[in-house]
A and B are shown apart, each in its own frame.
Chain A
């Protein structure tokens, strides 16, 4: 039996469409060959995966189908409705993609805009600052020192892209998609120049009249979608929808209608032709690239994490992967190998949201009840290292929890951020613990190690934070985005000390003892990775952990 026939029969079996004769044929093959049985097992596994997945995927696909359902519309009356569709589509896109980061940065950009507007009313000499917002960035590299990010507002001036893709939303409402190397000059919210590259413009009714200048022609939009390409001395214009006015020096204004193109090379005449939408950047292409980019990112990260989670020194590797099945929504796995099933975390209250990049889940901590409970048992270690990717949305409390042992007893750590934005780390030790002697709560001491202030009140960006502590020397080193930010020994250090964890919480403090000041310490922000080691890692190792998890 060849592979094709075999797959046909297995497929028929899975779909319930197998006849008596076919069934006999399949069974004979399976009985005869262990290899075929292995293949059969793989296909059955695929079937199970698809069934488990299809429920979740379905909604996503349904939304995607709205996006791609763009019929070719010719009549003018219908075109208006298509615009509505495009606008609706944009709204759907925004919802569907749900840029956690982008949205927040957008609000930053708005804040910047608001500030500049306020400034212009106060000071007459302030010229218009900013003419557009960079609304999407996919794997983009820019010329020069400026590294733009999604949500940045753009000033008039040159904008040079070396690779990747971006979308620019002009304040007039016009949208520009740029893919691959391009050199454009933003003149105002109503005008731009393209000196090199491929650019697609979408101009909704409010922005009719938007002008795009090319070396060999000027284009005025009449409400439409079109693209231009400038390559050396040759400029071309392609109209996909609606119409545009093209002004070529030395000849009369021409109206180019949908489906048509116009090419003008230096020292040569104008050539009319047919437009080719597939050659130019499109929103669909954009989405595909974005998905691909983050898929690749996720895969690279996964491969890198496979090494991390099997490190013999790691005891907690919480990657915050979300299970497709709603039933298991509260589970936060500890992925260390060998497995430690008892140490899986359980999320209480905290919601699943987007993490460092689209497709990487995180848990969001907002209200005083939100937390992840974990238990790492009470083994004693000679030191520890904690490393996490976090996003701080606000410093609401005097102390804001990252990882807190429940009881804060002898050898147990607390890792927090104080209200001024300093990382703070401490281990509780009994002042004197004679062998077999009673320990007294009032007799505890802990030195708190502080970093300089690192977080603003509403930082809202992803950062890598880490701390290492050597119980043998009492030295704690703290790190922020891979760099050492504090190193301090303990004044009260004693020989023979160890650290331990027991029951702990991520993002909250589970069991503050009675009478402790500021017992409510819930984090306002997101966590999408937490690693716990039983030894202090070196600075290089912390820096590597930061490196392999950088979102962009």
Chain B
């Protein structure tokens, strides 16, 4: 393992840069956010252990994704069978898929922030609240005394709205 403090500093900086990208990548391969956190943690650990094998830091992003891909597929095998766990074949296909949005993380997140601000307050609160760490829609519905199905529907619509808005915003900025 690399014990050089300045190399650790470099590693942390690179990891910071890629954090949201790697989480977004892993999200499609494992069924819950909890799984995402676990896989990403494992991924960064392994990346640090192998960091001195990486000869060109400019290739860090792709290198980290390769580790994340491997770790995600490995993690899937440890999961119990559930409707949320896709077939191995599909998981492989998804691991190689690319999205329509190609803008950088910061631009994409900035666009999303703008889109969230365009929502009226109750809807903005809803979409952010259900994405809070540890919150499930079932629990959220119960606490707010609202029908569970209605919340699923609203969240689904909001995802659709936000996705369209983010794409549009990025397209307007010529970033798409």
A residues adjacent to B (C-beta < 8 A): 7-8, 11-20, 22-23, 27, 30-31, 34, 37-55, 57-58, 61, 64-65, 68, 291-292, 295, 298-299, 302-303, 306, 321, 323-325, 327-328, 331, 333, 338-339, 341-342, 344, 346
Contact = CB atoms under 8 A, between A and B. Distances in A.
A41 B128 contact: no
Contact of A344 (B13, B124, B128, B137): B13
Contact of A333 (B17, B99, B173): B17
A51 B33 contact: yes
A331 B24 contact: no
Nearest to A57: B128
Interface residues of B, number: 68
B121 A20 contact: no
B98 A41 contact: yes
Nearest to B87: A27
Nearest to A41: B99
Contacts of A14: 159
Nearest to A319: B106
5 contacts: A18-B83, A19-B83, A43-B163, A48-B20, A346-B9
Given A22-B83, A50-B131, A31 B93 contact: yes
Interface string B51-73: 00000011010000000000000
Secondary structure at the A interface, as helix, strand, loop or mixed, is helix
Contacts of B137: 15, 17
Interface in B75-115: 83-84, 86-87, 89-90, 93-94, 97-101, 106-110, 112-114
A40 B28 contact: yes
A467 to B, nearest CB: 28
Contacts of B24: 44-45, 48-49
Nearest to A31: B90
Contacts of A53: 109, 112-113, 116, 128, 131
Contacts of A16: 31-32, 84, 136
Contact of A27 (B13, B86, B98, B159): B86
B129 A64 contact: no
B93 A37 contact: yes
Contacts of A295: 114, 117
B13 A341 contact: yes
Contact of B173 (A11, A291, A292, A299): A299
B125 A15 contact: no
Given A19-B83, A342-B10, A346-B9, A38 B163 contact: no
A48 B36 contact: yes
Contact of B166 (A37, A44, A46, A323): A46
Given A41-B28, A65-B121, 19 more contacts: A13-B31, A15-B155, A16-B32, A18-B84, A23-B83, A23-B86, A30-B93, A44-B24, A48-B24, A48-B36, A49-B24, A51-B33, A52-B23, A299-B114, A323-B16, A325-B19, A328-B16, A331-B16, A341-B58
Nearest to A3: B160
Nearest to B40: A48
